[in-house]
């Protein structure tokens, strides 16, 4: 199981980019942290989620 923003999913052994697309995240407007470490956007394609990973996805919102 992989925990994403507090919800559990069966996404172990899946590429981070594929998971973000499946969950409808706009990769240009988010930051991702896996197990309390920020993942650079250039590493999304090469990052494979593992059983027990905790993922936090933070969306940026405009405003002023």
Range of the domain at 29: 2-59
Q: State mean pLDDT over 23-49.
A: 96
Q: Give the CATH number of the domain where residue 28 resides.
A: 3.10.20.30
In Å, how far are 5, 19, 32, 60 from 13, measured between CA atoms?
A: 18, 10, 17, 27
pLDDT at 64: 60
Residue 64 lies in a domain: no
Write out pLDDT tens, residues 15-25: 999 999 999 99
Q: pTM for this structure?
A: 0.90
Q: State mean pLDDT over 29-37.
A: 97
Q: State mean pLDDT over 29-55.
A: 97
Spell out the residues 6+ positions from residue 64 whose beta carbon is closer than 8 angstroms to its own: none
- Cα separation, 10 vs 49, whole angstroms: 10
Instruction: State how many domains the chain has.
Output: 1
Q: State mean pLDDT over 28-51.
A: 97
What's the chain's length in residues? Answer: 64
Both tokens of 45, joined, read: 């394609």
Nearest to 11 by CA among 37, 32, 41, 40: 32
pLDDT at 48: 98
């Amino acid at each position: 199981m992989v925990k994403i923003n507090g919800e559990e999913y069966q996404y172990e052994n899946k590429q981070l980019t594929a998971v973000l697309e499946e969950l409808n995240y706009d990769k240009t407007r988010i930051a991702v942290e896996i197990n309390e470490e920020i993942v650079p956007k250039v590493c999304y394609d090469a990052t494979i989620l593992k059983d027990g990973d905790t993922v936090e996805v933070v969306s940026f919102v405009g405003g002023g």
